[in-house]
């Protein structure tokens, strides 16, 4: 009964109007849903519920379905974009003082002392009838071709030093990033530091932990704590495949004296191939040109998660100055450095030809930090979803609470109805008994 009918009956008969009102718990399912539809904050549904004509109701139904579909499309796009794991790079400046000094690696770029090499070398080539000369002043290109048979490393066609400024946890790859230092000059390296930080999986496949083969190589350098580097990982896997194919290692990769074959955790000490054996070059070419072999041996050679690079500005001037020549001469003569036979007459040119000075200093205390960051975070996805639902159909978290309330009331109504039915059945059974 409506409220007006209840009031009319109560005025004729002496009955309390509250008794005639229906129990709120017994409201029907339709009335609960209609009450929700009329009062919800979600757009579109109230328009459907209060429509007085079929045409108006159809209009609101179509509008609600269209905008709900558009909302679902944009929400799906936002979620798909998140699972593509996009990233961006931010640049920041950090000022550090005092700043940790980098590692400096210096190597002699010419492995031969000509005055001590030429005599034994000519004896070797003359004995094998490769040459027939005793001339120690002229060295021809044809003679240089036999040096690899005489030594285990190749001739570098220059006389100089090579230097590398690197991070303390970075294994030096001086053959790739070294800078040449010409003799007879004072060189200055002014450096500034740049750091790169990459996101871990699933954004990238980076790694900072060296594999077993790399760790065995690093363990040869006591006291050093080197991190994973992609370049040296390539060298380790190439050496492993070379040993697997040739039974010996690449002779120019002399730092890698032990290998770990794929699928094992046992280190194998290896010998190096003869330098004239073409197997090691063929093995390296085969590895780098065959995807299946590369995947088997070099699958864990991925980029580092963090790196530190030093930007070098190099300058130099002539050295040593004339007033230091006698001091350098006395120092050389008092040291254990082997002197050439004509030192007494050629010491000035020998010093100028072999003197190299290097100064390494920081240019600035600022460090550029390039950090990879997620473009879309879980909070960003939630914000996008909330923006889309609010824009198209006006749903918020409170709207979800309204839906939860309606579901609760429907469940409560069904429970109340079920209890009432059971009670009525129980009463009927008692009467029949």
- Which tokens belong to 330? 């006395």
Contact 168, 273 (CB under 8 A): no
3-state SS, residue 121: helix
Instruction: State the DSSP H helix or E strand holding residue 332, giving kind and residue range, or none if neither.
Output: helix 325-334
Give the pLDDT confidence score for residue 112 in this predicted structure. 66
Report the range out of 132-136, 252-256, 426-430 with the highest average pLDDT: 252-256
Structural domain boundaries in the chain: 3-82+379-432, 207-302
Reported as a single tens digit per residue, the pLDDT across 400-420 is 888 898 899 889 988 988 888
8 Å CB contact between 44 and 70: no
- What pLDDT, in 10s, does the model give residues 63-86? 999 999 999 999 999 999 999 999
- What is the pLDDT, as a whole number, of residue 403? 87
Q: List the 356-374 sheet strands across, edge first.
A: 87-95, 356-374, 185-197, 306-318
Q: CA-CA distance, 392 to 63, in Å (whole number)?
A: 10
Nearest to 234 by CA among 302, 153, 175, 307: 302
**pLDDT at position 18 over 70:** no
| Residue given tokens 């040449």 in the structure block | 180
Q: What integer pLDDT is reported at residue 27 of this predicted model?
A: 55
Is residue 301 within 8 Å of 205, Cβ to Cβ? no
**Angle formed at CA 209 by CA 207 and CA 214, multiple of 5 degrees:** 115
Q: Is pLDDT of 358 > 90?
A: yes
């Amino acid at each position: 009964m409506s409220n007006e009918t209840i009031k009319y009956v109560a005025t004729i008969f002496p009955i309390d109007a509250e008794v005639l009102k229906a129990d709120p718990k017994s409201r029907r399912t339709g009335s609960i849903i209609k009450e929700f539809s009329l009062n919800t904050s979600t757009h579109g549904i109230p328009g459907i519920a209060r429509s007085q004509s079929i045409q108006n109701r159809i209009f609101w139904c179509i509008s609600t379905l269209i905008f709900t579909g558009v909302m679902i499309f944009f929400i799906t796009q936002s979620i798909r974009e998140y699972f593509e794991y996009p990233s961006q790079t931010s640049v920041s400046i950090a000022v550090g003082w005092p700043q940790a000094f980098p590692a400096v690696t210096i190597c002699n770029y010419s492995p031969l002392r000509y005055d001590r090499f030429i005599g034994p070398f000519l004896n070797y080539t003359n004995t094998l009838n490769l040459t027939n000369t005793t001339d120690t002043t002229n060295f021809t290109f044809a003679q240089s071709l036999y040096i690899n048979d005489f030594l285990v490393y190749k001739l570098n066609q220059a006389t100089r030093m090579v230097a590398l400024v690197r991070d303390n946890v970075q294994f030096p790859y001086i053959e790739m990033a070294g800078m040449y230092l010409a003799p007879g000059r004072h060189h200055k390296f002014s450096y500034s530091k740049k750091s790169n930080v990459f996101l871990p999986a699933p954004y990238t496949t980076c790694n900072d932990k060296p594999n077993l083969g790399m760790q065995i190589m690093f363990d040869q350098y006591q006291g050093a704590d080197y991190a994973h580097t992609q370049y040296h990982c390539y060298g380790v896997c190439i050496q492993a495949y070379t040993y697997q194919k040739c039974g010996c290692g690449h002779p120019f990769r002399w730092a890698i004296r032990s290998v770990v074959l794929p699928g094992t955790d046992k280190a194998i000490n290896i010998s190096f191939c003869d330098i004239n054996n073409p197997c090691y070059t063929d093995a390296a070419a085969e590895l780098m040109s065959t995807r299946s072999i590369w995947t088997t041996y070099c699958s864990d050679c991925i980029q580092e998660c963090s790196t530190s690079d030093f930007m070098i500005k190099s300058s130099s001037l002539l050295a040593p100055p004339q007033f230091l020549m006698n001091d350098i001469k006395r120092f050389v003569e008092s040291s254990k450095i082997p002197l050439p036979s004509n030192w007494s007459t050629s010491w000035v040119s020998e010093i100028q030809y072999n003197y190299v000075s290097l100064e390494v200093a920081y240019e600035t205390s600022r460090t550029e930090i390039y950090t990879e960051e997620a473009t879309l975070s879980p909070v960003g996805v939630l914000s996008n979803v909330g923006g889309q639902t609010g824009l198209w159909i006006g749903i918020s978290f409170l709207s979800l609470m309204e839906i939860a309330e309606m579901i609760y009331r429907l469940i409560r109504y069904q429970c109340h109805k079920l209890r009432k039915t059971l009670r009525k059945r129980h009463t009927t059974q008692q009467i029949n008994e």
